[in-house]
Structure 1
Amino acid sequence: MNEHGQEVSLKVAVVGILHETNTFAPGLTGLDDFTGEWIAGKEAFYARYEGTRTSMGGVIAKARELGIELIPGLYAAATPSGMVAAGAMETLMGEVLRSVDRTADAVIVIMHGAMVAEHIPDVEGEFLERLRGMVGYGLPVAMTLDLHGNISRRMVELADIIVGYDTYPHVDMFERAEEALELLWRTARGQIRPVRALAQPAMLVVPQAMLTEQGAMRELMEEAFALEKLPGVLNVTVAGGFPYSDVPDAGMAFVVTTDNDLPLAERSAEWLSELARSRKEKFAVRFVTPEDAVRLALAEQEGPIVLTEGSDNVGGGSPGDATHLLALLVDPQVPALVVIRDVEAVAAAFRAGIGGMFETDVGGKSDTLHGCPVRLHGKVRTLFDGIYRHVGPYMTGQLADMGHTAVVECGKLTVVLTEKRQAPWDLGHVRSVGLWPADFHIIVVKSAIAWQTAFGPFAKKVIHVESPGCCTSNLHLLTYRLVRRPVYPL
C-alpha cells in the first residue's frame, strides 16, 4: 500500500534531463544553466510539479491513478541555448544516472530529443545506453520527447516506449507523459510487448512550418492518429525535428510502436515518411524583411499585429537580444512592445529606479549576427524580480524566471528588459509586469510558433520576419558539417 491507501502495482523510477541545443548559438551551456530547474527527490519533485500541466505533472497524475509507487530521482532542465560543455554534460549525466532507484520495476525518462554536448552528438541515445548499462536490457524503459526532437536509431533500439508530443505549440506534454507511463505499466505487467520502427524522410523543417493545427504538419498528425486506431498499434510519434542541431540524425522522424508486430511498425513508419517526402514543398512558409514587416504592421488599422522574430527564437536557443526589429521601432507611430534580454540594460534601469530616466545601449551584445546595440531613451516604469507562474495552456502552473526585469517606456515604444532569457510561451511573460497585449498595435515576439499560447488570442494578424540569427528560416545560411546527407532542402 502507498501513502494514499492504494495497492502498489509497480515501482517506477522517474528521472530526466531536458535541453534543446542550438549548435549554431553563441557560447556554451554550463552546469549553472541547469540550476534553475534542478529538482531531486520525491518531496521536491511533487512540490514543484504536482498539479502542473507538465510532463512531470502527467507522470505524477497517472502514477496515482494506476497505483504506481513513483520514485523520483533527479530532473534538470535549462532554457534552450548553445552546445552543452563536455564537463557539464558528464557531471549532469552522472548525477541523473546515480539518482535512478535500482529497486524500481521500470524507468521513465523525460528528455527533449535534441540535446547535444561538445563530445556527444546524441545525448539522449548516450544516456539510454549508460542507463541500460546500469539497469540491464530487460527492465522496461519509457521516454518522453519534444516534438522537435531529433530521433536516432540508437534511441529507438534502447527505449521500449517512445512517446513524443502531438502539438505545437506544445500543450499536450501532460497527456503524452500519462500515455507513456501507462504503456510502461502495461509493458511491466506483461500485457503488451512493444516493438518499434523508425523512419526518417531526410527533411530539415523550420519550426514555423510545424504548426500542428494547420497545413502539412496537421495532415501528418491526422494520418498518425488514424494509424493509432489500428489493432496492435500502441503509439505513433511524429517528430518535426530540430534543424538548429547539426547532428547526423537532425530532421523529421517517425516512430511507430506496436504490440509485438514489427512488420506493421515498419510499414507504418515508412508510409508516413514517404507521405512527408511527397509533401515537402507544403512545408514552405512566407517570410518578409524587418523593414517590410514594420511597414505592413503600420498599414493595418487594427492590432495587435504580431511580428515573429523567429531568427532570435529564445525557445530555439537564440540569445534573445537581436535588434533588427528594435532598431526600426525606436520612435514608432503606434504603441509597440518588445521584450529583450540585456543584463547591462537591466542593471542601468535598476540604478535609475522607478520613475528614473533611462538612457543606454540595448541588445546586440551576444555577437554580431543578431544586430548592433540600439540607443534607447525613456523612463523606468516597473522593476520586478522576474518570477511568475504560467497561467495559459502551455505548462500551466510551471514556474518561470526572467531574472531581474525592468519595463522602460520610450515614447510609444515599451521595452521589457530581462536579465535571463525567457521564451514568450505564456501570458505571464508580460502580465507579470503589468502589461496587456491588447494595448499594443505591434508586438515583437522572439519565437517561431510557441508565442501563440500567450498572444494568439489577441493577434489580429501575424507576420513572419526573416533576419540574421542562429534560428534563421533560411537554412542555407547555416554551415552544416555533421547532418547526414542528402537532406532537404540543403
Structure 2
Amino acid sequence: MQDPLRIGVVGVYHETNTFAPVMTHWDDFRHCFTLGRDAFMALFEHTQTTMGGVIAASIQEEVSLVPGLYTSATPNGIVSEEAAHLILEQLTRSIEPNLDGLVVILHGAMVSEQCFDMEVAILEAVRNVIGEQIPIAVTVDLHANLGGKMSQLCSLLVGYDTYPHIDAYECGVEALQLLVRQIRGDIQPVIAIARPNMLVVPQKMITTKGIMKTIMEEAFFMETDPEVLNVTVCGGFPYSDVPIAGMSFAVTTNGNEALAHSYAERLAKLAWTLREEFLFQEIEVEQAMRLAMDAKEGPIILVEASDNVGGGSPADGTHLLPELLKLPFRSLIFIRDQEAVSAACRQGVGTVISCAIGGKSDSLHGSPVPIKGKIKLLSDGMYKHRGPYMKGTLAHMGKTAVIEANQVTVVLTEERVPPWDIGHVESIGLNPEDFHLIVVKSAVAWISAFGPIAKQVIEVDTPGCCTTSLHRLTYRHVARPVFPLNSPEKEHAQ
C-alpha cells in the first residue's frame, strides 16, 4: 500500500496599514502562534477558518497533514524588521523535509520596515527551503494586494469569495484539494494576474450587493469554463502605501496560459469601466446625529470606518463619543484604552470612575474625552466566535471594563478587537438589542455581528487612518496613475 501524500501547511497572516500610528511587533504575533501538528490541530480543527478547511480537506483526501508555523496578528501598523526576521526564521525552520506539497496561508497585504511585499519575501524564503519543484498552494484574503511575482512563486492561488469573509473554510478546502490534484498529475495549473490600477475602499467590496457582486458573478461565470481551476478577485487594501496596492484578479487555468491572461485582463477592464461606481460617500457627524435622533427604532449602527480595527486603526477614536454623551438614547461604544482599564480594575465593580478616555494614540483619531460613570463589570475579555465569521475561534479583548456614563455604555478594552462577532458584546453581559445606537469601529465586517439586528445603518465621516476619503492620506509609494488619486480621465496603465 502506498504511503499517503505528505502535505505541509504554514502561514503568516497580517493586514498592514502603513498609515496607522502604532508599529506591529513580534509580541503582537504571539497571541495567535502555533508550531507543529498538535498545536495547530488543537487550535483550528472544527473551526470555520482557512486552517480548519485545510484540516478537513486533508482528512477527506486521506493525506498526511504536516503543520509548521502558523501565526497572525490583528491588523495594525508596519511590521518591525525584528518581527519580520523572526517570523521568516521560525517559519522556514518549521517546514519538515520530504513534503509532496505545501499550503501557505497568507493575507496578501503584509508590509515590514524593509519590505513592501512580505508575502513574496515569505514565499521566496519557503522556496529556498523546499526547492522549485514542490508545488505550493497559497490562500489569500479578499483584501490582498497582488503583484505579478506572486504567480511565479506558487502554483495555485485561492482567495476568499466573500466580504464579510464567511468562506475562509471553503477557501482552505479548495486550496488543499487543488494541490492534491496537482501532485497526482490530474492538473497542470498556470496563473495570470491583472490589475486595473484602482484603489477601492472596503465599503465598496461587499460581495452580496452592488458593483462587487457584479464582478464576482462574472468571475463565477468564468469558473464554469472546464479549463478554469479558480478565479480570485482581490479588492485590495488601499491603506497599504506600496507599489502593488489596489484591486487585482488572479485566474488559474489547467495549462492554458493564454486563457488565464485573457480572463484576468477581461476582469480588470470590467472593473476599470465601472470605476466610478466604486466611489463612496459618508455622512458628516452632525447630519449623522440628526438622522440617529429622528430614527424611531433601534439598534441603529453608526459605522466609524475611519477607526476600523480590522483595517489597522488604533481603536481609540473619540470623534463620536462627545456626541453620544449629549443624546438621550442608550448607546454603546468600544474604545481601547489600557490606562483607563487599569484604573477601573484598581477601583473595582460598583465604584464611580472619572477619567479621560481614548484619543491617546495620535491626534488624527481625536483627543481624550472626560467621562464619569459607574463600573458595571470587569472581565478578562476572552470569548469564542459563535457567528458565521471564524466560528469556533477564541478572541481576546484583554482586561475589559464596562462603564455606564449617563445613557452611554462604554466598553474599555486593553487590546484592539474588531467587532466581527456578536460574542464580543454578549460575553460581557450586554444585549445589543437593548441599545438605540451602536458605534462599530469597522468598515464592513461588523455585518457578521450586527447585521441581523440593525434597523438602520449610518456611515459616518470622521478622520482616521482608514478614512474612505483616500485623498486625505499621503501616498508616496503606490504606483501611479491610480484611480481615484489621479484624474479619472487619465488612461489607466496596462
Note whether the superposition's TM-score is higher than 0.5: yes
Give me the whole-angstrom Cα distance separating, in 1, the residues matched to 2:98 and 2:131.
Answer: 12
Give me the whole-angstrom Cα distance separating, in 2, the residues matched to 1:291 and 1:163.
Answer: 43
What residue number does 2:318 align with? Answer: 323
CA 1:433–1:34: 2 relative to 1, 3 Å = same
Note the 1:14-413 alignment, pairs <5 A.
14-413=9-408
1:329 counterpart SS class? helix
Structure 1 unpaired stretches of 5+: 2-6
Superposed displacement of residue 142, structure 1:
0.5
Name which of structure 1's ranges 247-256 and 90-99 shifts more when overlaid on structure 2.
Answer: 90-99
Give me the whole-angstrom Cα distance separating, in 2, the residues matched to 1:130 and 1:77.
Answer: 18
Give me the whole-angstrom Cα distance separating, in 2, the residues matched to 1:298 and 1:104.
Answer: 61
Structure 1 stretches of at least 4 aligned residues deviating more than 6 Å after TM superposition? none
Give me the whole-angstrom Cα distance separating, in 1, the residues matched to 2:201 and 2:267.
Answer: 19
Give me the whole-angstrom Cα distance separating, in 2, the residues matched to 1:178 and 1:196.
Answer: 19
Equivalent position amino acid for 1:184 in 2: L
Superposed displacement of residue 283, structure 1:
1.3
Superposed displacement of residue 285, structure 1:
2.3
Q: 1:314-367 deviations in whole A, cap 9, x for unaligned?
A: 000000000001121123211100011000111111122111101100100000
Give me the whole-angstrom Cα distance separating, in 1, the residues matched to 2:204 and 2:120.
Answer: 26
Whether the aligned pair in 1 keeps the contact of 2:22 and 2:314 (CA below 8 Å) is no
Whether the aligned pair in 2 keeps the contact of 1:427 and 1:454 (CA below 8 Å) is yes
Give me the whole-angstrom Cα distance separating, in 2, the residues matched to 1:349 and 1:292.
Answer: 34
What residue number does 1:451 align with? Answer: 446
Match of 2:416 among 421, 440, 443: 421
Structure 2 unpaired stretches of 5+: 486-494
Give me the whole-angstrom Cα distance separating, in 1, the residues matched to 2:10 and 2:197.
Answer: 31
What residue number does 2:492 align with? Answer: none
2:260 counterpart SS class? helix
Give me the whole-angstrom Cα distance separating, in 2, the residues matched to 1:383 and 1:295.
Answer: 33
1:456 counterpart SS class? helix
TM-score (norm 1): 0.98
Give me the whole-angstrom Cα distance separating, in 1, the residues matched to 2:83 and 2:353.
Answer: 38
Give me the whole-angstrom Cα distance separating, in 2, the residues matched to 1:201 and 1:331.
Answer: 45
Q: 1:27-58 deviations in whole A, cap 9, x for unaligned?
A: 21110000100111111110100000001100
Whether the aligned pair in 2 keeps the contact of 1:163 and 1:176 (CA below 8 Å) is yes
- 1:478 pairs with 2:470: no
Give me the whole-angstrom Cα distance separating, in 1, the residues matched to 2:148 and 2:84.
Answer: 21
2:453 counterpart SS class? coil
What residue number does 2:491 align with? Answer: none
Superposed displacement of residue 422, structure 1:
0.2
Give me the whole-angstrom Cα distance separating, in 1, the residues matched to 2:281 and 2:395.
Answer: 32
1:153 counterpart SS class? coil
- 1:462 pairs with 2:457: yes
Number of equivalent positions: 485
Superposed displacement of residue 295, structure 1:
1.6
Whether the aligned pair in 2 keeps the contact of 1:359 and 1:378 (CA below 8 Å) is yes
Whether the aligned pair in 2 keeps the contact of 1:145 and 1:164 (CA below 8 Å) is yes
Superposed displacement of residue 386, structure 1:
0.4
Q: 1:139-173 deviations in whole A, cap 9, x for unaligned?
A: 10011000000011111111101101000000000
What residue number does 1:4 align with? Answer: none
Whether the aligned pair in 1 keeps the contact of 2:163 and 2:205 (CA below 8 Å) is yes
Whether the aligned pair in 1 keeps the contact of 2:88 and 2:125 (CA below 8 Å) is no
1:117 counterpart SS class? coil
Equivalent position amino acid for 1:307 in 2: L
1:67 counterpart SS class? coil
Whether the aligned pair in 1 keeps the contact of 2:139 and 2:172 (CA below 8 Å) is yes
2:86 counterpart SS class? helix
Whether the aligned pair in 2 keeps the contact of 1:8 and 1:69 (CA below 8 Å) is no
